[in-house]
Amino acid sequence: MLKVGITGGIGSGKSTVCRLFEKFGVPVYYADDRAKWLMNHQEGLKEQLKENFGAASYKEDGLLDRAYLAGIVFKDSAKLELLNSIVHPAVFEDGKQWQIEQEALGATYTLKEAALLFETGSYLNLDRIIVVTVPEEIRIKRVMERDNTTEEEVRARMNKQMPQEEKEKRADYIITNIAWETLNIQISEVHEQLVYQAKRPQK
Ligand code: ATP
């Protein structure tokens, strides 16, 4: 089974593209959503977060107090690094387990969607990488509409990410997400190639 990663800058359309791959029956691991779920439900991870950031990290209902944690890590890069060093390995292990399950279920290839695939080193354990790319101005407009936010806020989030061109340089496949029509064609082409490659001996 081929393990494929998919990434792209904020608002590039990673989730949208993954939902289209799902229509071909491809199993997708949404790492960012799963990270949120694990922080709320995985006891070992919850304990580690409480130990490092205080019991107040969790509300009375047992769910993560995101505002409290964001308040701690927002202005303190060492704390943000600490948080990542706790959460990323937990998501990585969970993703590995998920891949084993998908292989047992007979998947030809899987997709792992993550905003920070390169930054976390997660790409090292993947066989192929897809980067979704869109001109910056379009991304800004789409995110402003989706999140009902300002251009400044979107640009601030963008500036924290690896530049799009850097991601493109590391890609095995680039999907350009400007118009729906061309998006669907690109996805079927990449899908066909991945199925073909998954069935050949690995390099
Ligand atoms: P994030 O990095 O914030 O998680 P993302 O890369 O997963 O975002 P999406 O949420 O899939 O991006 O897409 C961003 C917005 O752009 C969404 O509102 C989505 O509906 C819209 N969008 C995605 N693709 C297109 C397209 N081809 N044409 C028009 N709108 C699109």
Confidence (pLDDT) at 47 = 97
- Give the count of beta carbons closer than 10 Å to the beta carbon of residue 107: 18
Is 50 contained in some domain? yes
Same domain, 122 and 151: yes
Same domain, 22 and 42: no
15 is known to lie in a ligand binding site:
yes
Confidence (pLDDT) at 203 = 56
Provide the number of structural domains found in the chain.
2
Is 75 contained in some domain? yes
Same domain, 84 and 143: no
Distance 62 CA to ligand 1 centre (A): 31
Same domain, 73 and 46: yes
Is 97 contained in some domain? no
Same domain, 83 and 174: no
Distance 190 CA to ligand 1 centre (A): 19
Report the percentage of the chain scoring pLDDT > 70: 99
Same domain, 13 and 42: no
Same domain, 193 and 113: yes
Residues of the chain with pLDDT under 50: none
Structure pTM?
0.93
13 is known to lie in a ligand binding site:
yes
Helix and strand numbers, DSSP H then E, in the chain: 9, 5
14 is known to lie in a ligand binding site:
yes
Give the range of the structural domain holding residue 124, as residue numbers without chain letter: 1-27+107-197
Which residue, judged by its Cα, is nearest atom 13 of ligand 1? 13
Same domain, 112 and 191: yes
Q: Which atom of ligand 1 is nearest to the CA of 8?
A: 6
Distances in whole angstroms, Cα of residue 157 to Cα of each of 10, 84, 150: 8, 17, 11
Same domain, 111 and 192: yes
Q: What CATH number corresponds to the domain at position 153? A: 3.40.50.300
Confidence (pLDDT) at 48 = 97
Distances in whole angstroms, Cα of residue 61 to Cα of each of 56, 58, 65, 72, 189: 12, 8, 10, 21, 46
Same domain, 40 and 16: no
Same domain, 111 and 189: yes
Strand order in the sheet with 109-113: 28-30, 109-113, 2-7, 128-133, 173-176
Ligand 1 residue neighbourhood (C-beta within 6 Å): 8, 10-16, 115, 142, 146, 177, 180, 183
Same domain, 21 and 41: no
pLDDT tens profile 13-70: 999 999 999 999 999 999 999 999 999 999 999 999 999 999 999 999 999 999 999 9
